[in-house]
Amino acid sequence: MIVCHCQNITNHDIDAAINWMRAADATALITPGKVYRALGKSADCGGCMPLFLSTMRKNDNMEVPMTLRGLRAGPAEEFHDERRQESN
């Protein structure tokens, strides 16, 4: 199925790019921009983004690597703790 009509990118192209990136780097954060770049293309109108993203999410290799999970919660809690200590 064609996902991006401007660049003629199919769902199979997106899956292949994601699988290749995950195989090359287990901790890579895979974004639509990186998928475009891996395919040697760049987004044009952006009208495909909702379908592009939903196609990406269906790929099993799109999970956030275990080593990167919880990073957002950690520094934010530290930040709040620091502010609490400053106000005391």
Q: At closest approach, how far in Å is the CB of 45 from ligand FES?
A: 3
Can you tell me the distance from the alpha carbon of 61 to that of 22, in angstroms, rounded to the nearest whole number? 6
**CB closer to ligand FES, 12 vs 83:** 12
Task: Label residues 41-53 b or e (16+ Cβ within 10 Å = b).
Answer: eebeeeebeeebe
Q: Which stretch binds ligand FES (CB under 6 A): 15-23, 25-33, 46-54, 59-67?
A: 46-54
Q: Are 45 and 6 in contact (CB under 8 A)?
A: yes
Partners of residue 2 on adjacent β-strands: 10
Quickly tell me which residue has 């997106």 as its tokens: 14
Asked if residue 43 binds ligand FES (CB under 6 A), the reply is yes
Contact window for ligand FES (CB under 6 A) among 3-11, 12-20, 23-31, 60-68: 3-11
Q: Which residues bind ligand FES (CB under 6 A)?
A: 4-7, 43-48
